[in-house]
Amino acid sequence: MKSETKKNTATISNIKRNWWKEAVVYQIYPRSFMDSNGDGIGDLRGITEKLDYLQDLGIDVVWICPMFKSPNDDNGYDISDYQEIMEQFGNMADFDQLLAAIHERGMRLILDLVVNHTSDEHPWFVESSSSKDNPKRDWYIWRDSQEDKAPNNWESIFKGPAWQHDATTQQSYMHLFSTKQPDLNWENQAVRDAIYKMINWWLDKGIDGFRLDAITHMKKEPGLSDMANPNSLKNVPCWDKMMNVDGVLNYIDDMCRKTFNHYDIMTVGEANGVSVDQAEEWVGEQKQRLSMIFQFDHLQLWNEDSESQLDLIELKRIFSKWQKGLQNSGWNALFLENHDIPRIVSKWGNTEKYWFESATALAVMYFLMQGTPFIYQGQEIGMTNTQFDGIDDFDCVGAKNHYAELREQGMPEQEILHLLSKIGRDNSRTPMQWDATEHAGFSCHAPWLKVNPNYQSINVAEQLQDSGSVLNFYRRLIALRKAEPVLVYGEYDLVLEADEKIYAYTRSLDEQQLLIICNLSKESVQYYYDNKALREKNMILSNYTKGLDNDFLLQPFETRIYRLGKA
C-alpha cells in the first residue's frame, strides 16, 4: 500500500509506532509446509488451507521463502523468473488468492527478495553467458581465467571455489553460493533498475514487504584481490571481501529510494557481517533504510561441536549488546530458528527429558525481548532435528558439497553423517507435522524430504487438543505480547547477568515493568531477585503447572513471567 495513506506516526515512550514492530511473523518454507495436490511437495494452495491455523495462533505477518520459478538447485533461492510462480507451487492465480485470503484475515504477507544472484537458468544469465560481447555480459561478474586457475582464491559459501570456468570464453563467473547461482553485478545500473522494476511490480500487487536475502554480499571489494586466508576460521571461510563491504549501503539507499520508501511495508535484511555498531546505519529510524535486520552473532555459539553446552553468559552478552545497541535508535528482528539452521530444541534444549519445558523456556527467552519475533514453521510445536540414514536422504546442496569435500579429505562416512545430522539445514526442512497419519498429514504422497519419524508424537492435531502443549504455550505467549505494550516498546535490561543457568531480564515502559526468567538448564536452580515482589499473584505465565515454592527454586527449564510494576 502506498505509504501516504497508511502510516501511523504516533510514538510510545519516544519510539515511533509501526505495525511491523507490533507484529509476530511466521516463516513458511513452502516446499515443506502443506501439500494440497498430492505430489509430495508443499504449495501455495496448501498455505491458503492453513491460514486459519496461523490466524488462530495469533500470527500477523506471513513470510514465504522463495516461491518463484526456479530449477531448484537451492530450493528456490536460485530464481529463473522473478515474476512467475514455481510450477510445483502453483500459479499466479493461486498466489493472488493467497494474498487476498491473508489480507481478508487482517494479516500481511512478505516475500523473499533474492537479488544477490539469480539462477544460471535466468534469461539474463543465459544471455550473459552466450558470448563476451553480449550486452548483458556485464550483468554478472566475469573475469579471465583458466581451467585450473580461478580469478582469485575466494571460496563459495557452499564450499569449493567461488568461480565457475567457461571454456568457450576462457572466463569464469562468480558465484558466492552454488555454481547455479551466479552473482549479479550490482555495479551495473541497468541491473539495479531491472531489479527495482521487479520489486515495484510486487509491491504494486499489494504485498507488505520483503525479507532481503544475502543482502550484505551484493557489494564485492573492488579489484577482487585474493583474501589473506580464505579458510581462516575453522571450516568457515573468511568473507571479508565479499560481505558487508564499504559501499553496500549505497546500493541499499538507491534501492530504498526507488522502491521501498514509497510504500508502507516492512523490510528485514539478512545481514551477515553487520556488527551492532554498524546496525544503526542499516535500521536507524532516521536513515530510511530497512525496518530491521537479522543478526547472526548468537549463531556463532552454534558450533560444530554439538556436545558442547550452551555458553549462556556469552548468549546473554550477545543479545543484550543488540538490545542495548538499538534501544531508541532502531529495531531488532528476533529469531532462534529458520530454514538454514537446525532445530533449537535439539540444540539448546533437551529433547530426551525436558522437551516441552525446554521448547517453551527457549521461546520465552527470545520472544519477549524488544524487536519483532519470528517463528519458523514447526518451532511452535517443538519440532526437532531429524535422523537421516545416508547422504541420499539429504537434499541441501551445501550438505552434499560438504559431504563430498570431507569424503575427499578421508573422513569416514558415519562421522560425516553424524556431523551433518547436527548442523545440516535439512533438519529444519522436513515436512510440517500436521497430524499422526501417514506422511504427517503434510501430503497423501511420499514427501520430497523424509518426514521426521517422531511425527506421531509431535504434531499439530495432538497439540491443538492439549491445553498444556508447546503450541498452546506459544498461543498464550503471542497473546501476552499483544496485550502488553511494554513487551513491544518497553526497554530491555538484563538481570542476574553472571548466572550461568538463568536468562532473566526486565521490560519497562513508564510505570509498567515485567520480569522474564528462564532457567535454560536441566538442573533445578535457586535464584535471588527482589524476591518480595515475586508473589504468585504477580506471575502471569509459566511453563510449570505446579504452584510456586517459597524457595525460589526454578525447575529444569522452568520459565516464569512476573508483573513487577503497575498493570
- Among candidate residues 270, 337, 380, 484, the one labeled active-site is 270
Question: Nearest distance from residue 92's CB to ligand NOJ, in Å?
Answer: 23
Closest CA to 192 of 255, 244, 126: 255
Q: In sequence order, what DSSP letters do the residues of 131-163 get, joined into one string?
A: -TT-TTGGGB-EEE-BTTB-SS--B-TTSSBSE
270 is a catalytic site residue: yes
Q: Is 184 in the site for ligand NOJ (CB under 6 A)?
A: no
Largest CA distance in the chain: 79
177 binds ligand NOJ (CB under 6 A): yes
| Per-residue x/- track, 118-157, ligand NOJ (CB under 6 A) | ----------------------------------------
Q: Is 340 in the site for ligand NOJ (CB under 6 A)?
A: yes
Q: How many Cα atoms occupy the beta-carbon half-sphere of 305 within 13 Å?
A: 7
Residue 295 CB, shortest distance to ligand NOJ, in Å, is 14
Q: Does 210 bind ligand NOJ (CB under 6 A)?
A: no
Nearer to ligand NOJ, 73 or 357 (CB): 73
Q: Strand, coil or helix: what is 319? A: helix
Which residue, 208 or 426, has its beta carbon nearer to ligand NOJ?
426
Residues 23-42 that bind ligand NOJ (CB under 6 A): none
Q: Which is nearer to ligand NOJ, 113 or 318 (CB)?
A: 113
DSSP, res 532: G
The verdict on 337 binding ligand NOJ (CB under 6 A) reads no
SS3 assignment, position 501: coil
Among 34, 57, 114, 369, the residue binding ligand NOJ under the rule CB under 6 A is 114
User: Pick the catalytic residue: 213, 395, 426, 484?
Assistant: 213
- Whether 155 is a known active-site residue: answer no
- Window 222 to 281, contacts with ligand NOJ (CB under 6 A): 270
Alpha carbon distance 67, 89 (integer Å): 7
Q: How far is it, in rounded angstroms, from Cα 247 to Cα 228?
A: 21
Contacts of 496 (CB under 8 A, 6+ apart): 502, 504, 527, 529
- In whole angstroms, the minimum distance from the beta carbon of 30 to ligand NOJ comes to 13
Whole-number Å distance between alpha carbons of 528 and 510: 25
Q: Which whole-number Å values give the CA distances from 89 to 42, 110, 305, 341, 451, in the listed order?
A: 7, 17, 37, 23, 19
Of 41, 57, 99, 214, the residue at the interface with ligand NOJ (CB under 6 A) is 214
The nearest distance, CB 112 to ligand NOJ, in angstroms, is 8
Candidates 63, 99, 30; CA nearest to 375 is 63
With respect to ligand NOJ, which residue has the nearer C-beta, 214 or 361? 214
Min dist CB 239 to ligand NOJ, Å, is 13
Contact set with ligand NOJ (CB under 6 A): 74, 77, 114, 177, 213-214, 270, 339-340
> Which active-site residues does the annotation give?
213, 270
